[in-house]
Amino acid sequence: MKDFMQCSILGLNQTYLEQNSVEMESKMDNLTLIIWSHLTTLYNIIKKCTAIYSTICPMRKTEFYTYEQNTSHLS
């Protein structure tokens, strides 16, 4: 009888541990999804900033060279 009780308690513990591991897995999956979505958002923001900077920066270089060419005869 004692062995049966120990087995049933161990069985309950095993079921409890399996249930907890499934819950932990789903929590880790949720955490992974949250981290992945934040990284994707960050990547999109960096991509947009890079695109904006690359469109502004050549204009500034062009303006600088035009200014330099226009004022080169003054020196």
Longest CA pairwise span in the chain (Å): 107
pLDDT digits (tens, 9 = 90+) for 5-40: 455 555 556 666 667 777 777 777 888 889 999 999
Mean pLDDT of 42-51: 90
Sequence spans of domains, the chain: 35-75
- The pTM (predicted TM-score) of the whole model is 0.45
Q: Identify the CA nearest to 21 among candidates 33, 11, 29.
A: 29
